[in-house]
A and B are shown apart, each in its own frame.
Chain A
Amino acid sequence: MSIGDQLAQFVVSGLTTGSIYALIALGFCIIHNATGIVNFTQVDFVTLGGMMMYTFLMGLGLPMPVSFVLGVLAVTGIGGLVQRLAIQPARSRAIIILIFITIGVSILTRGVIKIIWGKNQMALPSFTGDTPLVVWNAAILPQSLWIFVITVIVVALLQFFFNRTRVVKAMRAASFNPRAAALMGVNVNRMILLSFALSGALGAVAGIIIVPITTLNYDIGVMLGLKGFAAAVLGGYGNSVGAIMGGLLLGLLESIGAGVISSTYKDVIAFAILLSVLFMKPSGLLGYGEKERV
Chain B
Amino acid sequence: MSGGHCKIKHYLPLAALAACILVFPVLITNPYYLNVANIIGLNTMVVVGLNLVVGYAGQISLGHAAFYGLGAYLSGILAVTYNMPPWPAMLIALLATCLIALIIGIPTLKLHGHYLVMATLGFNLIVNIILIQWDKVTGGPSGFPGIPNLQVGPWMFDSDQKMYFLIWSGAFISILLSLNLVDSRVGRGLRALHSSEVAAASVGVPTEKYKVKVFVLSALFASVAGSLYAHYLTFISPKTFDIFFSVELVTMVIVGGMGSVWGALFGTIFLTSLPNMLHLFDEYKDVFYGLILVLILIFVPEGLVVAARKRWLRMSRHADKFSSGQITDSRSREHYATASRAADLGAKGLTAFSHPSANEILKVEGASIRFGGIMALSQVSFDVAEGSITSLIGPNGAGKTTMINVVSGNYQVQAGTVIFDGREVKGKRPYEMAALGMTRTFQNVQIFENMTVLENIMVGAHAQTGSEFIACLFRLPGFRQEGAAIEQQAWETLSFFGLDEKADWPASSLSFGEQKRVEMARGLVAKPRLILLDEPVAGLNIAETAEIAQLIKEIRSTGVSVLLVEHDMNLVMGISDRVVVLNYGSKIAEGCPEEIQRDESVLSAYLGSVA
Q: Which of A146-154, A192-200, A269-277 contacts B (4 or more CB under 8 A)?
A: A269-277
Residues of chain A in range 86-143 having any CB-CB distance to chain B below 8 Å: 86, 89-92, 94-97, 99-101, 103-112, 114-115
Q: Which of A90, A110, A226, A237 touches B301 (beta carbons < 8 Å)?
A: A90
* A282 CA / B250 CA spacing, docked (Å): 23
Contact at B126–A268, with CB atoms within 8 Å?
yes
- A114-B286, A267-B125 are known contacts. Are A282 and B115 too (CB-CB below 8 A)? yes
B410→A233 contact, CB < 8 A: no
User: For the complex, is B397 an interface residue (Cβ under 8 Å from A)?
Assistant: no
Q: Is the CB of B301 within 8 A of A97?
A: yes
A233-B118, A274-B118, A275-B122 known; A86 and B294 CB under 8 Å? Answer: yes
Contact assessment for A226 and B125 in the assembled complex, using a CB-CB cutoff below 8 Å? yes
Assuming the contacts A100-B250, A105-B290, A107-B289, asked whether A114 and B283 have C-beta atoms less than 8 A apart, the reply is: yes
Name A31-79 residues within 8 Å CB distance of B: 32, 38
B119's partner among A38, A112, A278, A294 (CB-CB below 8 A) is A278
A265: interface (CB < 8 Å):
yes
Q: Per-residue 0/1 for B192-204: is the Cβ within 8 Å of any A Cβ (1 yes, 0 no)?
A: 0000001000000
Contact A111 B119 (CB under 8 A): no
Chain A at the B interface: SS class: helix
Is A229 at the interface (CB under 8 A from chain B)?
yes
List B contacts of A100 (CB < 8 A): 250-251, 254, 293, 297
Docked CA distance A97–B112 (Å): 16
Q: Answer whether residue B311 sits at the interface, using C-beta atoms and an 8 A cutoff.
A: no
Interchain CB contact (< 8 A) of B118 among A86, A107, A229 = A229
Interface size on A, residues (CB 8 A): 48
B115 touching A283, Cβ below 8 Å = yes
- Given the known inter-chain contacts A111-B284, A264-B133, A268-B130, please indicate yes or no for A104 contacting B293, CB distance below 8 A: yes
Contacts of B298 in A (CB 8 A): 86, 89-91, 101
By the criterion CB–CB under 8 Å, are B110 and A233 in contact?
Answer: no
Residues of B within 8 A of A90 (CB): 297-298, 301
> Which interface residue of A279, A293, A294 has the most chain B CB atoms within 10 A?
A294
Complex: A106 Cα to B401 Cα, angstroms: 46
B-side contacts of A112, CB under 8 Å: 287
A233 near B254 with CB under 8 A, answer: no
Contact A282 B111 (CB under 8 A): yes
* Of the residues A92, A271, A278, A292, contact of B125 by C-beta under 8 Å: A271
**Residues of chain B at interface, number, CB under 8 A:** 48
Distance in Å: Cβ of B6 to nearest Cβ of chain A? 31
Residues of chain A within 8 A (CB-CB) of B37 are none
Any chain A CB within 8 A of the CB of B17? no
Asked if B498 is at the interface (CB within 8 A of a chain A CB), the reply is no
Chain A residue numbers with a CB within 8 Å of B284 are 111, 115
Whether B286 contacts A111 by the Cβ 8 Å rule is yes
A96 to B113 CA separation, bound complex (whole angstroms): 9
Which residues of A sit under 8 angstroms from B117, Cβ to Cβ?
Answer: 38, 99
**Contact bitstring A251-294, B, C-beta under 8 A = 1, else 0:** 00000000000001101100110110011001110000010111
Q: Does A24 contact B (CB under 8 A)?
A: no
Which residues on the B side are within 8 Å of A109 (C-beta)? 290
Q: Are A271 and B290 in contact (CB under 8 A)?
A: no
B499 to A: closest C-beta gap in Å:
24
Contact call B294/A275, Cβ cutoff below 8 A? no
- Residue from B60, B122, B302, B401 within 8 A of A271 (CB atoms): B122
Q: B32 an interface residue at 8 Å Cβ cutoff?
A: no
Bound-complex Cα distance A271 to B410 (A): 33
CB-CB under 8 A from A115, the residues of chain B are: 283-284, 287
User: Quick check: B291 and A108 within 8 Å, CB to CB?
Assistant: yes
Whether A233 pairs with B133 at a CB distance below 8 angstroms is no
Q: Which residues of A contact B121 (CB under 8 A)?
A: 226, 229
Q: Do A278 and B118 form a contact, CB below 8 Å, given A104-B297, A114-B283, A294-B442?
A: yes
Answer whether residue B166 sits at the interface, using C-beta atoms and an 8 A cutoff: no
Assembled-state Cα–Cα distance A108/B289 (Å): 7
In Å, the complex CA distance between A232 and B129 comes to 22
Would you mind naming 9 contact pairs between A and B with Cβ atoms under 8 Å apart? A90-B298, A100-B250, A105-B290, A105-B294, A108-B289, A233-B115, A265-B133, A271-B125, A275-B108
* Interface residues, chain A, with chain B CB atoms under 8 Å away: 32, 38, 86, 89-92, 94-97, 99-101, 103-112, 114-115, 226, 229-230, 233, 237, 264-265, 267-268, 271-272, 274-275, 278-279, 282-284, 290, 292-294
